[in-house]
C-alpha cells in the first residue's frame, strides 16, 4: 500500500467553467480580448495588452465583474466537482484572478482556488496584475508532492502540461487537437463520467499499490 494520500489538482477554465476572457470579449463585443497565449505567447505582453484594452474602452472592475456574474459553470461541472471533493482533497489551480473568479467560485460551492491577484485603483480600474509566482500550477503540484501527496492533475491546454507532467498522474479534459497530439503521454477525457473512472482508479492505487 502507498502511504501517500491522493490529492486532485484541477484547472478551472475549460474544465469547470467557460473561458473568462473569451466570455468578456463576447459580452463586450471587443474582439481583441479574444487573443490568448496561443496568439501572444508572452503572458506579460498579453495581460498588459488586455488591461490597456479595458482602459481604452473605459471598462472598470465592476463592468467586468458584471459580465462574469452572468457566467455559469459548465453543464455537469458542479455535480462532478462535488463528487470529486467528497473523495479526495481538491485544489483548483488556475491562471485567472481571485477578483474575476469569485462569482464562479460561489456557484461551485467555494472550492479551494490557487490563482493570482489584480490591483484595483481608487477609480475601480484594474491598475495591474500580480502573478503569485512563475509557473504557478507546476510549482503548486510540486509543492503538494513535497507535502506527501500523490497528485492527480487535470487540465486542458498548453499552460497545464507542465503541471500534468509534474503530477503522479495527468489527464487532459477536452483538449484541442493540437495539445492532444503534442502530449500523447496524457490520457484524454471528453466527459465528466470518464474523468470519474480515471479518478476512481487513481484513488484505488492508495490501497492496491
- Residue in 106, 109, 111 with CA at minimum distance from that of residue 11: 111
- Contact pattern from residue 122 through residue 141 relative to a second copy, giving x for each residue in contact according to CB under 8 A and a dash for the rest: --------x-xx--x--xx-
Could you tell me where the DSSP H helices lie in the chain?
20-28, 43-56, 61-69, 77-85, 98-107, 136-146, 158-166, 177-182, 192-208
Among the listed ranges 43-51, 55-63, 84-92, 182-190, the one in contact with a second copy (CB under 8 A) is 84-92
Query: Does 34 participate in binding a second copy (rule CB under 8 A)?
Result: no
Minimum Å gap between C-beta 18 and a second copy is 21
Active site residue 13: yes
Quick one: cell of 88? 479526495
Active site residue 11: yes
Selected binder of a second copy within 18, 49, 143, 165 (CB under 8 A):
143
Among the listed ranges 19-27, 69-77, 144-152, 157-165, the one in contact with a second copy (CB under 8 A) is 144-152
Among the listed ranges 19-27, 62-70, 105-113, 172-180, the one in contact with a second copy (CB under 8 A) is 105-113
Residue 33 CA to chain centroid, in angstroms?
A: 18
What DSSP assignment string belongs to 95-112? EEEHHHHHHHHHHTT--E
Q: How many CB atoms lie within 10 A of CB 139?
A: 17
Q: Which residues of 75-109 are buried (b: 16+ CB within 10 A; e: fewer)?
A: eebeebbeebeeebebbbbbbbbebbbebbbeebe
Residue number, 71 or 179, with CB nearest to a second copy: 71
Selected binder of a second copy within 69, 79, 119, 191 (CB under 8 A):
119
Q: Name residues contacting a second copy, limited to 147-176 (CB under 8 A).
A: 147-149
- Residue in 36, 69, 80, 57 with CA at minimum distance from that of residue 193: 80
Selected binder of a second copy within 17, 94, 96, 116 (CB under 8 A):
116
26 phi/psi in degrees, rounded to 5? -65, -45
Positions in the binding site for a second copy (CB under 8 A): 1, 3-5, 82, 85-86, 89-91, 98, 102, 105-106, 109-117, 119, 130, 132-133, 136, 139-140, 143-144, 146-149, 206
Q: Any idea which residues carry the catalytic annotation?
A: 11, 13
Amino acid at each position: 500500500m502507498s502511504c501517500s494520500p491522493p490529492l486532485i489538482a484541477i484547472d478551472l477554465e475549460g474544465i469547470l467553467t467557460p473561458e473568462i476572457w473569451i466570455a468578456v470579449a463576447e459580452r463586450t463585443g471587443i474582439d481583441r480580448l479574444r487573443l490568448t497565449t496561443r496568439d501572444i505567447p508572452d503572458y506579460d505582453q498579453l495581460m498588459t495588452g488586455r488591461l490597456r484594452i479595458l482602459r481604452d474602452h473605459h471598462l472598470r472592475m465592476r463592468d467586468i465583474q458584471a459580465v462574469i456574474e452572468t457566467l455559469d459553470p459548465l453543464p455537469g461541472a458542479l455535480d462532478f466537482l462535488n463528487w470529486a471533493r467528497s473523495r479526495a482533497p481538491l485544489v483548483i489551480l488556475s491562471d485567472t484572478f481571485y477578483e474575476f473568479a469569485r462569482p464562479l467560485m460561489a456557484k461551485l460551492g467555494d472550492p479551494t482556488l490557487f490563482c493570482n491577484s489584480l490591483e484595483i485603483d481608487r477609480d475601480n480600474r484594474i491598475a495591474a496584475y500580480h502573478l503569485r509566482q512563475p509557473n504557478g500550477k507546476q510549482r503548486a503540484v510540486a509543492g503538494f508532492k513535497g507535502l506527501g501527496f500523490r497528485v492527480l492533475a487535470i487540465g486542458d491546454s498548453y499552460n497545464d502540461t507542465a503541471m500534468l507532467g509534474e503530477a503522479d498522474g495527468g489527464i487532459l479534459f477536452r483538449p484541442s487537437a493540437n495539445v492532444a497530439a503534442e502530449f500523447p503521454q496524457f490520457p484524454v477525457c471528453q466527459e465528466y463520467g470518464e474523468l470519474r473512472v480515471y479518478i476512481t482508479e487513481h484513488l484505488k492505487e492508495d490501497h492496491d499499490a
